[in-house]
Structure 1
Amino acid sequence: MAISEAALDAVPGDLLTRARALQPATVRLRRALHRRPEVGMDLPRTQDQIVRALSDLPVTLHRGRSCSSVVGVLEGDRPGPTVLLRGDMDALPLTEDTGLAFRSEVDGAMHACGHDTHVAMLASAARLLAEDREQLAGRVLLMFQPGEEGFHGARAMLDDGLLETEAGVPEAAFALHVSATTPSGELHHRPGPMMAAADVLRVRVTGRGGHASAPQNALDPVPAAAAMVGALQTAVTRRVAPHDQAVLTVSRITAGTTDNVIPETAELEGTMRTLSEPVRALLRTEITRVCEHTALAHGCTAEVTIVPGYPVTVNDDGASADLARVGARVLGAARCVDMPSPLMGAEDFAYVLGRVPGALAFVGARPDGLDPDTAPPNHSNRVVFDESAMASGVAVHVGIARAVLAR
Structure 2
Amino acid sequence: MKPSVQGFGEKIFEEVLALRRHFHQYPELSGEEFETANKVKETLEAYGIPYTDGYAKTGVLGVIEGGKPGKTVALRADMDALPIEEQNDHPYVSKVKGKMHACGHDAHTAMLLGAGKLLNDRKEDLPGKVLLVFQPSEEFTPRGGAEPMMEDGVFREHEPDAIFAQHVWPDLPVGQIGTMGGSMMGASDRFKVIIEGAGGHASMPHQTVDAIIVANSVISSLQTIVSRNVNPIHSAVLTIGKIEGGSRYNVIADKVVLEGTIRTYTQETKNVVKERFHDIVYGVSKTMGAHATIQYFDGYPATVNTPHWAEHVKKTARQLYGDKAAPDVEPCLGGEDFSRFLLKYPGAYFWLGTAVPGVEKQNPLHDPKFKMDPKALSYGTELMAQVAIDALFELKDKKITVNLRAE
TM-score by length of 1: 0.93
CA distance in 1, matches of 2:21, 2:371: 12
Aligned twin of 1:307: 297
1:352 to 341, 362, 387: 341
The one-letter amino acid paired with 1:141 is L
2:187 to 177, 181, 197: 197
Larger mean CA deviation between 239-248 and 295-304 belongs to: 295-304
| Alignment pair present for 1:154 and 2:146 | yes
Aligned twin of 1:4: none
Residue 185 of structure 1: how far off its partner (Å)? 2.2
Structure 2: unaligned runs, 5 residues or longer = 397-407
Aligned twin of 1:400: 387
Larger mean CA deviation between 204-213 and 17-26 belongs to: 204-213
2:156 to 164, 183, 201: 164
- Please give the secondary structure, in 1, of the residue aligned with 2:334: coil
2:369 to 375, 382, 388: 382
Aligned twin of 2:101: 111
Assess if the C-alpha contact under 8 Å between 1:64 and 1:71 holds in 2: no
The one-letter amino acid paired with 2:90 is L
Aligned twin of 2:403: none
| Alignment pair present for 1:93 and 2:83 | yes
Larger mean CA deviation between 208-217 and 141-150 belongs to: 208-217
Assess if the C-alpha contact under 8 Å between 1:16 and 1:392 holds in 2: no
| Alignment pair present for 1:59 and 2:53 | no
The one-letter amino acid paired with 2:341 is V
Residue by residue over 1:166-203, the C-alpha shift from the partner in whole angstroms, topping out at 9 and shown as x without a partner, is x2x21100001011232112111111111111111211
CA distance in 2, matches of 1:308, 1:335: 35
The one-letter amino acid paired with 1:72 is G
- Please give the secondary structure, in 2, of the residue aligned with 1:242: coil
CA distance in 1, matches of 2:201, 2:88: 49
Aligned twin of 1:225: 215
TM-score by length of 2: 0.93
Correspondences of 1:282-321 after superposition (within 5 Å): 282-321=272-311
| Alignment pair present for 1:238 and 2:238 | no
1:276 to 254, 260, 266: 266
| Alignment pair present for 1:342 and 2:334 | no
CA distance in 1, matches of 2:46, 2:210: 67
2:7 to 17, 20, 23: 17
Number of matched residues?
392
The one-letter amino acid paired with 1:215 is P
- Please give the secondary structure, in 2, of the residue aligned with 1:103: coil
Residue by residue over 1:195-227, the C-alpha shift from the partner in whole angstroms, topping out at 9 and shown as x without a partner, is 111111211112222222111122222211101
Residue 316 of structure 1: how far off its partner (Å)? 0.8
Residue 65 of structure 1: how far off its partner (Å)? 4.3
The Cα RMSD (Å) is 1.4
Residue by residue over 1:144-174, the C-alpha shift from the partner in whole angstroms, topping out at 9 and shown as x without a partner, is 1111112501122111112213x2x211000
Aligned twin of 1:258: 248
The one-letter amino acid paired with 2:336 is E
- Please give the secondary structure, in 2, of the residue aligned with 1:194: strand
What is the percent sequence identity of the aligned residues? 34
Aligned twin of 1:123: 113
The one-letter amino acid paired with 2:41 is V
CA distance in 2, matches of 1:398, 1:93: 31
